[in-house]
Structures are given as C-alpha cells and as structure tokens.
Amino acid sequence: MANATIVYAPHGGGPMPLLDEALHANMNRFLRTVPTTIPRPDAIVVVSAHWEEPVISITAAQFPTLLFDYHGFPPEAYEFEYPAPGAPQLAERVHALLRADEIESKLDPQRDFDHGLFIPLMLMYPDADIPCIQISLSSSLDAGLHVRVGKALSSLKDENLLILGSGFSFHNMQAAAGRDRDRVDLKNREFETWLARTCTDSTISESRREALLIDWQEAPHARYCHPREEHLLPLQVCYGIAQGAAKITFQEPIYGFMTSAYQW
C-alpha cells in the first residue's frame, strides 16, 4: 500500500484561479500536475486556511455541498460544482486520533466544503470522485497547537491518502493590491528564503525545525508576509504529520509575490 503524500500548496485568491487562468497559469499548471506525480489516493484530507473554530473540527457529512465563502465575484463564481463524497469513517478516525492526544475536537456533519478545498481540487482532481474531509484550524492561531495537531495525526502517513495543507506562503493582500507585479519584493523574498531553508534543509534537526516553525514570527519580515497567519498554519499541521524535511515542488510569483509549495 502507498504511504500518504503530504502537500502544502497555494490555492490562489478566492475563486480567481478558475476565473482568470492567465493570472494563475503557473500555479494552476502545478496543481494539475500533482496527481500525475503521486499515487491516486483513497481519500483526501484538506486542512483549509478558510475554516477556523474554537476547537479543531472535522467535516463528517456523507455528501457535503459547497460553501461559497467569498464575496463580490461574478455570478459564475457561485455556480461551481464539486460533488466529491465525504468520508465519515475517516473523519471519525481523525477525531479519535485527536482525542487520544487530548486535543479537543468535534465532528461537524453540517459543514460544507469551502474554497480552500474545492478550488485546488477542481484543478487537481476535476472528476470529484475521491472522498474528502476537511479539518479546521483552531481560532487561537497557535502555531504550536497546529504542529501538535499534525503530530496527533501522524499515523495517517501509513495510509494511501493525500493530505493537503491549503494556504498561501505569502498572504499580505493589502501589499498586493495595485502593486507593480514585475517588481521584486525583497521582504517577500527574504521570508520565502527562510521558509524554504527551514522546511527543506536536511541538516536541521527535527527539534530545531519544529521550534523554527512554531516561532515563525521571528523569521525575516514574518508579519509583513503574514499579517494574520491563517494561510501559513496548514503548513505547521503538515509538518507535524510528516516530521521531516520537505522538498520544494513549486516556487513562482503569484500576484507578483514569490509563493512556494512543499511536499513530504
């Protein structure tokens, strides 16, 4: 049986990857290519930057619909379909693993799939024929807790799953607004360099790598790149599951800012 593939990847801005192919060409090409490089998973687990709860929550519906959790886009942005089934038994196991590690969590049979799931998966697996669940972030935004969540789920590495941390390694949308996209942003590049070394350098001990990701705010220009960290935290969950060095699988500008993806 294949082991899990763990990926932290960008999902673009709202529905724009599907509305403006040219602007997202490199990212879309990357996401479409991922399934050709990994075993077909039995199920997909998505940690979405767009779901925060007081306690870690897991989708538990058999047939979730879509949650259009964005505003102000053309009508077609609210007509997407992604009828992938849920995976209630997998959700139960995730819940049990978190409970065993004394991490408060709950199953949510009402929550539908938000765009942190359906945008990247419409590009990666457009047939929508693989069962999916979503795992929320904690609204505490505590990086250490999110690494701990990943560690509690580390036994999922032994299953044929795709575990997708759906976020964005640069997420300062105010800086991106109206910016000359041909101009290099040195603050962005310094943070991306730090992040790449932290995630991929095999000479860093795992205790040190974990400490760096927990104390990510100490990185160069961390709060410039992430004024609010919800788009970074899926990476901490992915790392907690993997507990090893990753490889960079994507590093290209999106909206004029360097953005990266990592795979374990």
Task: Give the tens place of pLDDT for each residue, 165-204.
Answer: 999 999 998 887 766 667 789 999 999 999 999 999 999 9
Q: How confident is the model at residue 1 (pLDDT cuts 50, 70, 90)?
A: low
Q: Please check whether residue 160 is in contact with residue 121, taking contact to mean a CB–CB distance below 8 angstroms.
A: no
Task: Give the tens place of pLDDT for each residue, 3-41.
Answer: 999 999 999 999 999 999 998 999 999 999 999 999 999
Tokens of 79: 């007509």
Task: Give the tens place of pLDDT for each residue, 216-241.
Answer: 999 999 999 999 999 999 999 999 99
Confidence at residue 177, expressed as pLDDT on a 0 to 100 scale: 73
Q: Look-up: residue for tokens 């978190």?
A: 98
Confidence at residue 174, expressed as pLDDT on a 0 to 100 scale: 83
Sequential DSSP letters for 96-154 = HHHHHTT--EEEESS--B-HHHHHHHHHH-TT--S-EEEEEEETT--HHHHHHHHHHTG
Share of the chain above pLDDT 90, in %: 93
The answer regarding whether domain 5-263 maps to CATH 3.40.50.2300 reads no
Query: Is the per-residue pLDDT at 133 higher than 90?
Result: yes
Q: Please check whether residue 261 is in contact with residue 8, taking contact to mean a CB–CB distance below 8 angstroms.
A: yes
Q: Are strands 56-59 and 105-108 parallel, antiparallel or unpaired?
A: parallel
Task: Kindly list the domain boundaries of the chain, sorted by start residue.
Answer: 5-263
Query: Is the per-residue pLDDT at 149 higher than 70?
Result: yes
